[in-house]
Amino acid sequence: MTAAQRESARQERAQRESQENHVSGATVWLTGLPSAGKTTIAYELAGRLRAEGRRVEVLDGDEIRDFLSAGLGFSRADRHTNVQRIGFVSELLARNGVLVLVPVIAPFADSREAVRARHQAAGTGYVEVHVATPVEVCSVRDVKGLYAKQAAGEISGLTGVDDPYEEPESPDLRIESQDQTVRESAAALHALLTERGLA
Ligand SMILES: Nc1ncnc2c1ncn2[C@@H]1O[C@H](COP(=O)(O)OS(=O)(=O)O)[C@@H](OP(=O)(O)O)[C@H]1O
Ligand SMILES: Nc1ncnc2c1ncn2[C@@H]1O[C@H](COP(=O)(O)OP(=O)(O)O)[C@@H](O)[C@H]1O
């Protein structure tokens, strides 16, 4: 079997599995700067969805970097590899009826597009959420002290400061977390998922 035939067979299998699963899973990717609120919103929403009886997983960026992406750094190539690995696992789970919340920076548009294309080819739902908290707010929150470390010259290559963040041009939802509570942010995303028949 050629590589093209293998890829075509893989896509057919993925589409068949997606159709056979009666509960529609999807990947919900929350992209944004460090301290934007991605993780907090993901866990708040996951709690609400689980209480409603939905199968949910959160693919937390930090956990992934401890296991699936252990050894990867923050170069452009490593971030791309990290995002593709997460996208691969997420699509597998989503295809099998799980609603997968992915609070991962994913700073490069081409990396995000490759993940979206993989979902599209398999017929698996994909929702992009830009947690669009401005860097001025993120750097005050500074949950992990990274902005302070960058300012002190202890680290470099911090997304949004001295490393690129390519904003999504047309996300399915943009959350301005600086203007609302965590519950309100999670509720906005819950409303979108309900509208799309995913929650
Ligand atoms: N240089 C640099 N730039 C950006 N982020 C950094 C960096 N060093 C460490 N961290 C912390 O790593 C956390 C996980 O990153 P991600 O896997 O989400 O990033 S990426 O999509 O691969 O770019 C990410 O988690 P969040 O703060 O939850 O976004 C950061 O806290
Ligand atoms: N509307 C909101 N949505 C999400 N987080 C918020 C909001 N308002 C304030 N925060 C706070 O911002 C911080 C975001 O941290 P975190 O979720 O770890 O960000 P990220 O995962 O994007 O790095 C938390 O301390 C959270 O309580």
- Give the tens place of pLDDT for each residue, 88-120: 999 999 999 999 999 999 999 999 999 999 999
The residues, ordered by sequence, that sit 6+ positions from 65 with a Cβ below 8 Å of its Cβ are 72, 82
Is ligand 1 within 6 A of the CB of residue 46? no
Q: How confident is the model at residue 96, as a pLDDT?
A: 96
Whose CA is closest to 52, among 194, 160, 159, 177? 194
Q: Is the pLDDT of residue 133 over 80?
A: yes
Q: pTM value? A: 0.93
Question: Phi-psi region for residue 165, left (φ > 0), alpha (ψ -120 to 50) or beta?
Answer: beta
Residue 140: CA atoms inside 13 Å, Cβ hemisphere, count? 5
Atom of ligand 2 nearest to the CA of 41: 4
40 CA → ligand 2 middle, Å? 5
CATH number for the domain harbouring residue 106 = 3.40.50.300
The answer to whether the CB of 190 falls within 8 A of the CB of 199 is yes
Range of the domain at 169: 3-195
What's the number of domains the chain is made of?
1
Q: Which ligand is located closest to the Cα atom of residue 36?
A: 2
Is ligand 2 within 6 A of the CB of residue 104? no
Is ligand 1 within 6 A of the CB of residue 65? yes
Whose CA is closest to 61, among 47, 79, 49, 76? 79
- Give the tens place of pLDDT for each residue, 150-187: 999 999 999 999 999 999 999 999 999 999 999 999 99
Residue 153 assigned ligand-binding role: no
